[in-house]
């Protein structure tokens, strides 16, 4: 399971936004 600390870390949020942008493209 993912650690909540890593899951809510800025890096994780940025990665999720990047993948979301790629899907939109």
Q: Where are the domains of the chain?
A: 1-25
Predicted model pTM? 0.40
**Those residues with Cβ within 8 angstroms of residue 6's Cβ, 6 or more apart along the chain or in another chain:** 12
- What is the predicted pLDDT for the residue at 5? 61
HSE-CB at 10 with a 13 A cutoff on CA atoms is: 0
- What is the predicted pLDDT for the residue at 6? 59
Q: How far is CA 24 from CA 3, 6, 14, 15, in A?
A: 28, 25, 15, 14
Q: What is the pLDDT of residues 1-24, one digit of tens each?
A: 456 665 567 877 788 888 888 777
Handedness of CA 12, 14, 17, 19 (dihedral sign): negative
Instruction: Check if the beta carbon of residue 9 is closer than 8 Å to that of residue 3.
Output: no
């Amino acid at each position: 399971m993912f650690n909540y600390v890593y899951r809510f870390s800025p890096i994780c949020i940025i990665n999720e936004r990047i993948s979301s942008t790629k899907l939109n493209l």
